Structure formats: C-alpha cells, structure tokens
Amino acid sequence: MATDWLRGAVIYQIYPRSFRDSDGDGVGDLRGAIDKLDHIASLGCDAIWLSPFFTSPMKDYGYDVSDYRGVDPLFGALADADALIARAHRLGLKVIIDQVWSHSSDRHPWFAESRASRDNAKADWYVWADAKPDGSPPNNWQAMFGGCAWTWDARRRQYYLHNFLPEQPDLNVRHPEVQDALLDIARFWLERGVDGFRLDVVNFFTHDAQLRDNPPLPLKRPPPRPHQFQRHLYDRTQPETLAFIARLRALLDRYGAMAVGEIEDEEPLKVQREYTDGPDRLHTAYSFFLLRQRAMTPAVIKDAMAQWEGAHGLPSWSLSNHDVVRFPTRLADDDPQRAKLMLALLLSLRGAAFLYQGDELGLPHADVPFERLRDPEAIAFWPSGIGRDGARTPMPWLQHANMAGFTDAPDAWLPLDPRHRALAVDAQNRDLNSTLAFTREMIALRRGSAALRTGEFVPLDAPEPVLAFERRADEERILCLFNLGPEPVRRPLAEGALRLAVGQAELLTGAAALGGYSALFVAI
C-alpha cells in the first residue's frame, strides 16, 4: 500500500521558528528549512513533520491558526511551502504537516462570523453554551493552560469553549459543515503534494453533548495545573471523534496519504490503540506516555509494548518534541552516553519513531530566563518550571558562527543556550564518536534490518535494570539488550553476530558484558 513506508519509519520533526532563519529576522522560516533538508536526509530519515507554518496571530506560536490555507509571512509564502515539499521529495523524504483542527484562532473569519449572532450561517461552528442561572460557566471544565475553559462573549451573551487559550476557541467538530470544511483543508494540502498530516490533540475534536461536569481525581496533594484535578471523561476522547476520523481516513486513502494523531489522555496507550484499531481509523498515533517519563526502566517499555500486542494499528514513539523537556535532560541527566542509549532504545521499538530537531545532537533542555520566556504556558505557571521554551530554542548549526549559525541577526526570538554551541552540527560532523554520528549509525542499522524496522517485539525475562527483547521478521532475529542502570552486568548468551555495541558493551564467548548504561544488538 502507499503508506507501507510508515511501518518502522523514522520521522524528523521540524519546529520552523527555531530550525533555521534564512532572512535575518531572528525567526526560522520555510526557506531556512529547505536549506537544511540535506541534513535530515543524511540521518537516514524517511519523512519530516513540520509544525504549523500557517497564518496566525502567534498567541500560541502557530497552534492558533487564522488561515489554514495561508503561510504566515514570518515563515514565507505558499510558494515556499511548495518548494519545500518538492525539495523534500527529491531527497526521498515524505512530508507530514500539522493540522490544528480541535480549535482555531479567535482571529479566524469563521469565529468572527460565529460570534456575531446566534443565527448566522456559522453560529454553531464553535462550541457555545448558555450561562447557568447564576451567570457562571456551563460546567467545571478547566483549560490546559490554566483557568476556566469557558470565556464569556458579550455579543452572543454566551460562553465559548477553549481547551487552551481564550484566543483558541474550540471548533464544533460534531457539526457536518465543520467536518466538510476541515476535509476541504486536507484536500487543499494533499493536492499540493503533502504525504500526510499530524493531527494536533486529535482526541479533543469532540466534547460531551450534555456538557456534563468532569468528576474530581483523588489526589494526595494539589497538582500544578487546575485541569489535573479532574478525570477528563467529558471534555475529550468522545466516540463521535472516531466517526469524523473515518471520513478523514477515506479521503486519505484516495490520495495514498497517512495521518498520525497526537493523544493527550489519562489512559494514553489505550486511546492510542483505539484510535488506530481498524482500516477506518488513523494510520498511527503517539501519546505522551514516553514523553513524560522521568526515568526509563524495563517495566516502562514492557508495559508500553504489551498494550500493543495483537493490535491492528501501528504505534509511534518519541522521547522529545516541542512541548516537553528534552530527553537528554529528562532521561539521561545530560550525559551523552546515556543520551545515545535512549536513542538506541527509541530506534529499536516496534512502530514509527519520531526524532525532534536537536535529538540527533543530544541537546540538553535549554535554560531560558524569565524575561525571555515566550510560551504562554511557561509564563502562566512560572516559577514552577512548567513550560516549553527550553525545548524550542534555536538549532545550532555552526559552532563558531553568530547565534551558532541559526540566524544572521544579533539575537533570535528565543536565546541560544551557550551549552548548545559546542554541540553544533558542524562540530559533531567532525567527531566520529559524537551523538550525531551515533544517530546515523543507529538509523542505518534499523533501515538495514527487517527485524528492527518492521518485525515483531518479543519481550524476554531479565533481571532489572536489564531490558531484553527480540525483534523478529521472517528468518531474522535481533537480540536487543539494554543495561538501564549504572553498574556493569553480564548475561549468558549463546553464539551470535554483533551488529552494534552502544557504550561499554561487549559480546564475549557465552556471555554479553554490559557496562553501565550500555546496549548490545546481536543477530541470533
């Protein structure tokens, strides 16, 4: 099938604002991304995922779209998007673009019309509700970025729903005309040659029609965010979303295109599987299950993979993205060797793997002082440490250049972390032992092995902190051994052919010797 490339694919996420600035304004753009596609192709990746580059007031830095068919002038023009798609395809890279359909910007013409009255053509294109008799909001739902999920609008004398900022009103994706409009947007980009979509918070597309209150969670202490006080039974993950996904899937199948859904839910793996379970569902989905882990243990991986046993759909996995603390800091204490181990683990799991820009360099999470914060979530929850700016700082290309080669401007929209300069692409290209060199080696191993790319995952018994599993496809079996702890361990092992050693690991006669935070890949 046209989407078979997705099985075992490695997909590289570009956050355009921070990838490469071509025009010297301190903000990354599409032309800058085009200039650096060779780097992504050199890693051995199969596809790119572009975070939003559409017309936007930038209240949430592109995730508040005011024109789904337009390119924001910060990023270039529609011709630049076409040129990027064409260049990526010449390099053998598929192109996946973000689609933010759970909500739009409040500057979108649809919302301007919807809020104008209760009886216009788009009056029901957003989620509106009357106040309670005492004037309070319709229910107790809380926004992800803090505060009530409802905002009063004096023109309609009703509340509108926003799961994120008040400037991001929720679309009423239950409405057939809204669905038709969203499918028209999909068709517009499919006609321009994109190979698929990443669907932002796909399980937020529909809400409970009765607007029932969410029940409270039993908590030992108050969480940092108000929405974490609740079980989200009614404001997300509603069955009606799957009916719309079926319509989208039918359209995608006509174009030979794919969709990956982002899942934000209290039962992330369960919902991932549900949203990919069948030919009328998404091709794949990822969640925050690994993205929010603070320690990597064998149990974490075995639990994740066990929930996909016998599944029809395809999982996707990532350790970093633009929303979370970068994995070298979160999971590896900024130790390069442990970062390599985490990359090896990610790239040996069944399913598609997502790399976030800078993962291949082992970039630590950046320090951004309060006065330079741009993320509305970071500002709202300061000084709790919650926020996304540390994952969004400029990509370092040239160790000794101005702003590490990200821009010719004296500064950028977010500051460059000084630690990132020494980890720039050009510096690591000169170092055969760099994280960048290892990433290329690990992706090449995955691409050259049917077992690692598309084979089944077979867990093996091993004492903690050893994680052991096989990947099997046809006649090929690859034994994957990971020591996730600091102390060296040995494991009995019959004969096999060493495919790759990560860190201080050796294949001995009758045994595998694993130093602290090391791994072995053995053909058996």
Asked if 287 and 355 count as a contact pair (C-beta separation under 8 A), the reply is no
Distance between CA atoms of residues 111 and 115, nearest Å: 6
What amino acid is encoded at 16 in this protein? P
Look up tokens 């160790």; give the residue. Answer: 399
Given the residues 262, 265, 359, 417, select the one marked as catalytic. 262
Per the annotation, the verdict on 371 as an active-site residue is no
Q: How far apart are CA 512 and CA 522, in angstroms?
A: 10
Residue owning tokens 């997502």: 354
Distance CA 205, CA 256 (A): 24
Contact between 251 and 187 (Cβ < 8 Å) = yes
- Classify residue 312 by burial, with Cβ atoms within 10 Å: 0-12, 13-18, 19+: exposed
**Is 200 assigned a catalytic role?**
yes
Q: Which of 200, 235, 274, 360 is catalytic?
A: 200
For strands 258-263 and 128-129, give the pairing.
unpaired
CA 381 vs. chain centroid, Å, equals 22
Length of the chain: 524
Dihedral pair phi/psi, residue 82, rounded to 5°:
-60, -40
23: helix, strand or coil = coil
CB neighbour list of residue 105: distance below 8 Å, 6 or more residues apart? 56, 57, 59, 64, 65, 66, 111, 167, 168
Residue 114, sorted as left (phi over 0), alpha (psi -120 to 50) or beta, turns out to be: alpha
Query: Other CB atoms closer than 10 Å to residue 150's CB: what's the count?
Result: 25
Active site residues: 200, 262
